[in-house]
Chain A
Amino acid sequence: GLILLFYLVFYGFLAALFTFTLWVMLQTLSSDIPKYRDRISSPGLMISPKPDTALEFYFNKSDSQSYLEYVTTLKNFLESYNDSKQSQNIDCTPGRIFEQNDAVVKKACRFNLSDLGPCSGKEDTNFGYSRGTPCVLVKMNRIIGLKPEGEPHIQCTPKDEGTVAITYFPPRGQIDLMYFPYYGKSLHAHYLQPLVAVQLAIHPNSTKEEIAIECKILGSPNLKNEDDRDKFLGRITFKVQMTE
């Protein structure tokens, strides 16, 4: 009995001590910006939709069930990009870093869904999957304070030439500098990260083949894309296999 009480008190004390020290530690942190950001100096690339099975798309263009999940994911993802949701966002000056260090409330720049062309889901609610021209959205990870240099753009290349024709929206896969820098979740609540849609027109000869496509961010000296260990730093590889 006594021993249980002892451990109750002992662990109670330790738990309190643990919570207290963590609380003290948390008090030293700002709620806006992490203390250190040296572990993410360069952003990773990611795609949407993201298949469960390790970035591999398998679908049958005549079977809507087979790509339903991708389409739904894309729809949900683009929900926040709807004009209705962007009412308080402002139009920024393209091609320039949009610094607003002094502003208390950081403004978010508008991203027009129409820039994504056929991949916006407005005209084609199936995002091209039913026609054998599936859309994949490529986005760059949000990193607080990141200011890309030069003219960053996404470029995707299939592993085997001629298997697929790639179209970019916005043209040339450009990522506009006006969306940077990001000021963090609490200060920059309505921030929308810029997207690049990649429409893959799969060559009729190459259906049923597994096509590996690598997308990279180019044109910016401070965005790395060739790290040996991190295969997603400034690049991403995914596979597409379409049947009819």
Chain B
Amino acid sequence: GLSSARAAEVLARDGPNALTPPKATPEIVKFLKQMVGGFSILLWIGAVFSWISFGIQLAQGAESPFDNLYLGVVLALVVILTGIFAYYQEAKSTNIMASFSKMIPQQALVIRDSEKKELPADQLVVGDLVEIKGGDRIPADIRLISAQGCKVDNSSLTGESEPQSRSCDFTHENPLETRNIAFYSTTCVEGTATGIVINTGDRTIIGRIASLASGVGNEKTPIAIEIEHFVYLVAGVAVSIGVVFFIISVSMRYKILDSIIFLIGIIVANVPEGLLATVTVSLSLTAKRMAKKNCLVKNLEAVETLGSTSIICSDKTGTLTQNRMTVAHLWFDNQIYSADTSEDQTTQPFDQTSPSWTALSKIVTLCNRAEFRPGQENLPIMKRVVVGDASETALLKFSEVILGDVMEIRARNKKVAEIPFNSTNKFQLSIHETDDPSDKRFLLVMKGAPERILERCSTIMINGKEEPLDSEKAEAFQTAYMELGGMGERVLGFCHLYLPEKEFPDTYQFDTDAMNFPTSNLCFVGLLSMIDPPRSTVPDAVSKCRSAGIKVIMVTGDHPITAKAIAKSVGIISATSETVEDIAKRLNIPVEQVNRREATAAVVNGMELKDMNSEQLDEILCNHSEIVFARTSPQQKLIIVEGCQRQGAVVAVTGDGVNDSPALKKADIGIAMGIAGSDAAKNAADMVLLDDNFASIVTGVEEGKNNNHLRTETLLINPQETGQCCPQGPDGLFLLQIPSVALAYEKAESDIMNRRPRNKRRDRLVNEQLAVYSYLQIGIMQSVGAFVTYFTVYAEQGFLPSTLLGVRVNWESNAINDFEDSYGQQWTKYQRTYLQWTGYTAFFVSITIQQVADLIIRKTRRNSIFRQGLFRNKVIWVGIFSQIGIALILTYGLGHVTALNFTPLRFQYWFVAVPFAILIWVYDEIRKLLIRRYPGSWWDKNMYY
């Protein structure tokens, strides 16, 4: 090995052997980002405007300029409080993330100064000799110089789920393919090896991939784009209304300065103060609910993105499947039996009466080296930890479920000799005493690759009797083998032989090296096939995606046959659809002659993908609705994601390995696996799936879709703004927006998962129809109702509507204190102002009342309210009552707080707007009825938002 001095030198040159962590955004920057992003800007501008007009008025010596000061303060407070809230929310999920990655400092066994030393892994340098053994994490990229049965799990790097064997032989030009290199951060599953460090830290393969991820630009989330769009829209509306009023007031000979203040007032009034809070709160409510369903959202905007997802690119292993081999089928007595592959099996339903099964089960039990870790007796069998490889584990659990205590059975059938599995023999053999005291024969049991096992057999067991293995029976075996293999399953053959007592007395010494016992002319008993079965919740989730118009694409490193089998069993490829190859097989024509358009499904091999240009990939993504990518390298995942995004889709991608992180980052929403995922993946992702289950993504999508209410909330707010800008209403009007949060609790419209995801280019959060409907229809209707109340208050106090027109200048003059009303009475300025406040209060109350109707109609966009149920969402009623409560408190409780300018109101004014509220409801029901009745009609196109 190296000398310590040399190592220190190299260490000084290359730096420590650790990945540079991604540049963490300082907390303060994160915090400030919350304060100035998107909407907040609008509010800040509003606040600054208010302060400007406060300044102007103060300089002018106006009587009550402080209203504007307060308004500015309120706006600023809204931004700051919301910012703090959002920051807190995100910090909370970041903390959960942090708890995932509690890194234990890694140790490495290094030979330095000719001595074996335990060193922290970050002290390794190029040229160090390191020793690794089963269970270790590879501390750097190393080239092996000696290896004994060494296998590494490269899944985090290449996505291959099978452990790869490693030796000292150079087998391939490509460092990723050759057998003599083990990579940093992969794990050694079994065996031992010694190697020389060839790369450390960021120069390792994984380091390079990780730095690749930070180079991939982050896509703007759809909601961010939407909010930007909305800000422009609102700003446009506000400014144009403001300018119109400015021109009107100038032409009505108001002073320019007054007109400017008026202009600013209108612009500020149009700022949806509550929307920011509403959006944040409603996103966090949804995020919270998603967290309960095992989707941990890292940033709030991801909630909305998830709801608009149109393509999910999912891993197979661990996400769609249970990530453990399980016995799926058995073949004995010339018949295939299926086994239960669900997560929590306790019994197996297939016919176990046949004596062949008894024989088979004995082989399965005995010819197996896997063992349960001790101390797990209370756990369900399927959850116990097993020492042994994946297939043996599957067999052990399978037999434990059916036969009970396997260890006890093995103890009764004492093992006397054993040949473990190796790649040359391709079989595993052991010899046991039998548990029948009267039977003194030894039992030889063997399992392995079916064709190899069959070669060694001369008989086959049918219904417990040994029959000669003729060509007909061999044919049956072949058919079964092909069938099981065709299902993507790993098939093992089992055979046995009772050694004659005379030749092998119980004192016989078995020698496994000399093989002094028969290994041919055995009796074939049966086949068992194993697969990593889909999670039981996945097929349902996939069909939900389908009905919601979400395309599910499987991207896996697995073999195409296995991938296709799993895809079929979970419904990613539906039962009726065919791939080009299937069609070719059915019609018995070469693949090239098949019309590619006829095939709805496609299984694309990674090798094919390598040779494709982006047009060809686009064509595949476009023309096939059911796609499986098999044998893909994780780098190709990025290409697939980009391809999907070119189609205009909002793409969700799952991933766990480090090498997935570029794709996770590139995706509109990256979903990392919480259990299997690497830290790099979790860092790059927008969302972490705590249970690694695909079905959780779909529940997340459902929650996110339900969050479509966000849209409705924005539109709920708009009408108030329309109303607000006309008489410069009391500042408290924005309080009205708070109850709209309650819509976040609305149960999804019954058909929500049947609606197509919104197209991110066409369907805006606030689209034209929506803005038009809420500003120009509902907004105007609300204003009409509110103005009726407003004018009623004035008229009943002596100012008939006719007297009120064009009196603004005199009305607001501080010097005029004998302003005459319609009855000849004279009013001082303060008396008028107080009356004005009463008018505002009445206006506010009317809007409140009509907002109840608005809130109710916003529950659905298409369905009748009566179908949705008026009382199912209790929170909305809490919202309605709290809204009315707020109004009551403001009018009666704070009647003497001038800053809010509310005054006590006569009771009857609360009811003036009720007919208008009912009118809004009726109108909206008619609108929805016509939309449902005449889909695609002019009405539908213009009135559906």
Contacts and interface: CB of A to CB of B under 8 A. Distances in A.
A104 interface: no
Contacts of A188: 824
Question: Which of A40, A50, A142 has the most chain B CB within a 10 Å cutoff?
Answer: A40
A230 B887 CA distance: 26
Contacts of A85: none
Contact of A230 (B798, B801, B816, B831): B831
Given A46-B818, A46-B826, A10 B798 contact: no
B577 interface: no
A39 B838 contact: yes
Nearest to A183: B824
Nearest to B942: A3
B817 A236 contact: yes
A143 interface: yes
Interface string B791-815: 1100111101100000000000011
A55 B942 CA distance: 57
Interface residues of A, number: 48
B70 interface: no
Contacts of A229: 830
A96 interface: no
Interface stretch (B140-148, B659-667, B776-784): B776-784
A36 B824 contact: no
Given A2-B938, A46-B826, A14 B780 contact: yes
B784 A17 contact: yes
Contacts of A172: none
B924 to A, nearest CB: 13
A144 B823 contact: yes
Interface in A62-87: none
Nearest to B941: A3
Given A54-B815, A236-B817, A39 B831 contact: yes
A10 to B, nearest CB: 7
B798 A14 contact: no
A36 B797 contact: yes
B784 A142 contact: no
Question: Which of B776, B796, B816 has the most chain A CB within a 10 Å cutoff?
Answer: B796
A18 B818 contact: no
Contacts of B787: 18
B777 A141 contact: no
Contact of B815 (A25, A29, A55, A182): A55
Contacts of A29: 795-796, 800
Contacts of A11: 780
B829 A232 contact: yes
A7 B831 contact: no
Nearest to A229: B830
A184 B824 contact: yes
A22 B912 CA distance: 11
A88 interface: no
A25 B791 contact: yes
B834 A39 contact: yes
A21 B831 CA distance: 27
Given A34-B796, A35-B795, 6 more contacts: A39-B827, A39-B834, A44-B827, A230-B829, A230-B830, A232-B828
Interface of B: 776-777, 780-781, 784, 787-788, 791-792, 795-798, 800-801, 814-818, 820-831, 834-835, 838, 906, 938, 942
Interface of A: 2-3, 6-7, 10-11, 14, 17-18, 21-22, 25-26, 29, 32-37, 39-40, 43-46, 50, 52, 54-55, 139, 141-144, 182, 184-186, 188, 191, 227, 229-233, 236
List the 7 closest A-B pairs by CB distance, nearest first: A185-B824, A44-B828, A141-B826, A230-B830, A34-B798, A46-B818, A35-B796
11 contacts: A2-B938, A21-B788, A25-B792, A33-B823, A34-B796, A43-B826, A143-B826, A184-B823, A185-B824, A188-B824, A233-B830
